[in-house]
Amino acid sequence: MKNKVLELRKEGIYCPDGDFFVDPRGNVERALITHAHSDHARPGHSSYLCSDTCKPLLKLRIGEHSVINSLPFGKKIKIGKATVSFHPAGHILGSAQVRVEVGGQVWVVSGDYKPQVDQTSEHFELVKCHGFISECTFGLPVYRWQPEKIIHQQINQWWSENAEEGRTSLLFAYSLGKAQRVLAGLNHEIGQIYVHSAVFPFLEHYKNAGVKLPEVIKIKKGHEYKFDQAMVIAPPAVEDSTWTRKFRTARKAFASGWMAIRGGRRRRNLDRGFILSDHADWDGLLEVIRGTEAEEIKVTHGNGDALTKYLGEQGRNCSVLEGARIRGEEEE
């Protein structure tokens, strides 16, 4: 990829006129970060720039001593000859699309995004542009999301049924973004809510940003807890670890867009799968891409070939951004 605004280098997407990278790999001088997930925000860069609400989350991920500056959404600044601004992506709290303008040409790097509204992130903002770099993690027609309210009802019903049987409900959800979104929809009247220690540090920053979350108990090593009838939120990384042995009789579930594929639940030996994603579904991708009115579209992160073929048949100039395929947080 090479145009008047952005080009692709081994470290990632680069703006020559601003001498900065967006979500780069390796070690670079100046990194603009779309959001605080580890596949986009990596340690080792000399300086970082992100949205204001992303900054405290980014510090948790890469360390307090990193040089991190931030901008409010919508504020334009000059970096070299480029004009840059951040716009809400709706993926997780603080997630941003990066708008880059050089010589009257505007490109937007989407990072990960979701036009569907939820309670725990800023609402997605559509940004008109000449060129759009879009994620396509769930870029197949099989991926179509139900409203968040319906999924929360399903989770609470499952928890209630388990509680009536005296069983623990163990729900796996990614520690940043998904866990908070699940928590925001839980009915705390059903029982006590516990969270894994990997989830707990992010909760304060969500509450500081005005997100309403129920009271929870952090599970600490060496402490004894009464988990009967409780809901426990933990990251999928501990699913097959010794940590889960204390929940031998628990009902287990996973909240993820990947639960739209039936085999995913069986392979993970789960009792339930809740289809809850922080990425755009098939319809969301098409809605956003068309709405940008971009003359050129580059897709990355996922099912790019299918989306590119479909858009090409619609007469759109779309191609896969080769060399920029990275694994999303929900793919790990």
CA atoms within 13 A of residue 125's CA, in its CB half-sphere: 18
263 pLDDT band (50/70/90 cuts)?
Answer: low
Return the DSSP state at 315.
Answer: T
What residue segments make up the domains of the chain, in order of their start?
A: 7-142+279-331, 148-274
Whether pLDDT at 331 is above 50 = no
Distance CA 12, CA 7 (A): 8
324 pLDDT band (50/70/90 cuts)?
Answer: low
pLDDT tens-digit series, residues 103-157: 999 999 999 999 999 999 999 999 999 999 999 999 999 999 999 999 999 999 9
Distance CA 32, CA 83 (A): 13
Distance CA 41, CA 44 (A): 10
Residue type (1 letter), 325: R
Mean pLDDT of 231-248: 92
Let me know: does 199 contact 258? Beta carbons within 8 Å. Answer: no
The structure tokens listed for 266 are 């069986």
For the residues of 261-278, what is the DSSP string, one character each?
SHHHHHHTT-SEEE---S
Let me know: does 219 contact 225? Beta carbons within 8 Å. Answer: yes
Whether pLDDT at 73 is above 90 = yes
Provide CB contacts within 8 A for 268, sequence distance 6+.
239, 254
Burial class (CB in 10 A: 0-12, 13-18, 19+), 67: exposed
223 pLDDT band (50/70/90 cuts)?
Answer: confident
Residue type (1 letter), 212: K
1 pLDDT band (50/70/90 cuts)?
Answer: low
Which stretches does DSSP call E strand in the chain? 7-9, 12-15, 20-22, 30-32, 47-51, 68-71, 77-79, 82-88, 96-102, 105-109, 131-136, 169-172, 193-195, 217-218, 231-234, 251-255, 272-274, 296-302, 318-320
In which element (H, E) is residue 208 found?
Answer: helix 200-208
In which element (H, E) is residue 205 found?
Answer: helix 200-208
Residue with tokens 């601004």: 85
Distance CA 93, CA 57 (A): 9
Dihedral of CA atoms 63, 212, 23, 16 in degrees, nearest 10, equals: -110
Backbone angles phi, psi at 265, to 5 degrees: -70, -40
Mean pLDDT of 295-304: 91
pLDDT tens-digit series, residues 162-177: 999 999 999 999 999 9
Q: What's the chain's length in residues?
A: 332
Let me know: does 43 contact 62? Beta carbons within 8 Å. Answer: yes
CATH no. for 7-142+279-331: 3.60.15.10
CATH no. for 148-274: 3.40.50.10890
pLDDT tens-digit series, residues 2-29: 578 999 999 999 999 999 999 999 999 9
Let me know: does 124 contact 289? Beta carbons within 8 Å. Answer: no
Residue type (1 letter), 225: Y
- For 10-17, the CB contacts below 8 A with 24+ separation are 10/323, 12/324, 13/109, 13/133, 13/324, 15/79, 15/80, 15/82, 15/100, 15/102, 17/80, 17/81, 17/82, 17/102
330 pLDDT band (50/70/90 cuts)?
Answer: very low
Distance CA 205, CA 273 (A): 28
